[in-house]
Chains A and B, each alone.
Chain A
Amino acid sequence: MAEWVHDLGGADGHGAVDIEPDEPTFHADWERRMFGMTATVMTQGRVNGSEFRHAIERMDRDWYLGSSYYEHWLAGLATLLVEKRDLAREELAAHGAPSFPLARAAGAVEPTPATGGEPFAVGQRVQVRRFDPAGHTRCPAYVRGRVGTVVRRDGVHPVPDVEAHSDERPEEPTYSVRFAAGELWGDDAEPGVSVCVDLWHRYLEASA
């Protein structure tokens, strides 16, 4: 299975969660500028949320894990704008940033295929399809192949797997699917735990 660094659910080797008391909204002025620039470009529709997420997902593993959140935004936004030819690396260099790392190229990606079929009903048992995404998806690896129960239907929404890689905007139902912890983690599961994951129709198939 391809390793996508951002797809962290259930990953081993992570330590304590440190909650910073009275954390400020931003920790430095450059974070403010980064947030504001990204909000501007997204509001204009020059960049969509799926392609922005995917640009961040294309950061190399060590860079992604070793950099702060708004550095991810910096990498994602600059990468996309260079790829879309809204700006050039030479221009960034001319403005005082000769070294400007960007995420790796997406390459040609066939989006996760549609499966069709009737919408699933609340209470229905579904199995998450096993697939190995070459590009963007919002189906976390830790639920692929697992069986759960639809607990909520949330209307139809553009499929991110397509939105990140083409100009098409097919819409499909999304569902909240509940998985018992034992189904996800086997003997390692904690007692009395379930995990609900929100999933697009094409990630799922009916289960017995």
Chain B
Amino acid sequence: MTEPAHHHAPASAIEQRVAALEEVLTEKGLVTPEFIDGVVGLYENDIGPLNGAKVVARAWIDPEYHERLLHDGTAAIAELGFGGPEGQHLVVVENADDVHNVVVCTLCSCYPWPVLGLPPVWYKSPPYRARMVREPRTLLRELGVDLPESVEIRVWDSSAEVRYLVLPQRPAGTDGHGEEELAALVTRDAMIGVARP
């Protein structure tokens, strides 16, 4: 149980290989440092779970947006300016008092990049991918979401082209909150379904 989720091979060997690959591809004109820096910067600085949090907060305060979001996630999310790779077909699944949704990709690492950024290591790890479809109740409890048996759990395995975003329930006691204040409550893990805001 203490096994780390990721096992690094000796860093020097990997670094050497990646550097060699980049040198060869650069020489051949197949990659450029500028493009690499640009796309890396995009996902380190601009595209991340703050986008998804804005979507969730808007859905919490605007009933018409909420309806559009559940009807056509891709279009409603595009209204806020978010879309692109790994987000061409977005489906939003909503939690309720008696339903909890959670997302996994058992085959690899599919994840809604435009709204959550790049997936964390644990989401891509074999234990999460193996266990979430088979014992979600147990795994969610281990992760701090202890659901009574009266709450149905729906696991979404994103094995084709759709990428899923969980719409968590608005926390109690937030009636007076504005949109930004609400967005600040929404975590990445709540939008995957392994936490609650």
Contacts and interface: CB of A to CB of B under 8 A. Distances in A.
Given A28-B11, A95-B24, A193-B153, A8 B129 contact: yes
Interface string A71-107: 1001001100100001100011101110110000000
**How large, as a class, is the contact surface on chain A?**
35 or more
Contact of B131 (A14, A25, A27, A192): A14
A195 interface: yes
A134 interface: no
9 tightest CB-CB pairs across the interface, nearest first?
A36-B36, A9-B106, A198-B160, A97-B20, A95-B20, A14-B127, A11-B130, A14-B130, A30-B18
Interface residues of B, number: 80
A95 B23 contact: yes
B130 A23 contact: no
B161 A17 contact: no
A130 interface: no
Interface stretch (B53-61, B75-83, B116-124, B169-177): B116-124
A190 interface: yes
Contacts of A132: none
B20 A96 contact: yes
Given A33-B36, A77-B21, A56 B108 contact: yes
Interface in A114-139: 138-139
Contacts of A37: 21-22, 25, 31, 36
B16 A96 contact: yes
A145 interface: no
Contact of A69 (B19, B37, B124): B124
A8 B39 CA distance: 30
Interface in A43-77: 44, 46, 53, 56, 65-69, 71, 74, 77
Contacts of A188: 134
A67 B7 contact: yes
Interface of A: 6-12, 14-20, 23, 25-28, 30, 32-37, 39-41, 44, 46, 53, 56, 65-69, 71, 74, 77-78, 81, 86-87, 91-93, 95-97, 99-100, 138-140, 142, 152, 154-155, 157, 174, 176, 178, 184-185, 188, 190-200
Given A157-B160, A191-B149, A74 B118 contact: no
Given A15-B127, A19-B194, A190-B153, 7 more contacts: A8-B126, A16-B1, A28-B11, A138-B160, A184-B133, A193-B155, A197-B159
B112 to A, nearest CB: 13
A20 B159 CA distance: 25
A118 B36 CA distance: 44
Interface string B110-147: 00000001101110111111110111111100110000
A53 B124 CA distance: 13
A35 B44 CA distance: 11
21 contacts: A9-B129, A11-B130, A14-B127, A15-B3, A16-B142, A17-B5, A17-B122, A17-B131, A30-B15, A34-B18, A40-B31, A41-B31, A56-B108, A69-B6, A71-B9, A74-B18, A78-B17, A96-B20, A152-B91, A191-B149, A195-B154
